Amino acid sequence: MLLRALAAALEPRAAVTHVFGEMNAWHLLRAVGRRPVLFTVAIDGPALDQRLYDKVRIFVPETEALAAHLEASGISSDRIRLIYPGVDLDRFRPSADRDDAFTVLFASSPARTSDFERRGLTLLVDAARRCPDIRFLLLWREWTSAAEIDHALEAFGRSENVIVVRRDIDDMSQIYQKVHATVLLYAQGYGK
Q: What is the pLDDT of residue 141?
A: 79
* pLDDT in the model for residue 144: 67
Q: Are 190 and 44 in contact (CB under 8 A)?
A: yes
From first to last of the 192 residues of the chain, give the pLDDT tens digit: 666 677 667 767 767 788 888 888 888 888 887 788 889 998 888 899 989 899 999 999 988 989 999 999 999 999 999 998 877 777 766 666 666 789 999 877 777 777 788 888 888 889 999 999 999 998 887 766 777 777 777 777 778 899 888 888 888 888 888 888 888 887 776 655
Q: Are 81 and 59 in contact (CB under 8 A)?
A: yes
- Rounded-to-integer distance, Cα 186 and Cα 85, Å: 16
Q: Report pLDDT for 4.
A: 64
User: Structure pTM?
Assistant: 0.62
Residue-level pLDDT at 118? 81
pLDDT for 95 equals 66
- Rounded-to-integer distance, Cα 68 and Cα 59, Å: 12
SS3 per-residue string spanning the chain: CHHHHHHHHHHHHCCCEEEEEECCCHHHHCCCCCCCEEEEEEECCCCCCHHHHCCEEEEEECCHHHHHHHHHCCCCHHHECCCCCCCCCCCCCCCCCCCCCCEEEECCCCCCHHHHHHHCHHHHHHHHHHCCCCEEEEEECCCCCHHHHHHHHHHCCCCCCEEEEECCCCCHHHHHCCCCEECCCCCCCCCC
The reported pLDDT for the residue numbered 165 is 86
Whether the Cβ atoms of residue 29 and residue 178 lie closer than 8 Å to each other: no
pLDDT of residue 72: 94
> Is the CB of residue 20 less than 8 Å from the CB of residue 56?
no
What is the per-residue pLDDT for 98? 60
The reported pLDDT for the residue numbered 82 is: 94
C-alpha 139/C-alpha 137 separation (Å) is 6
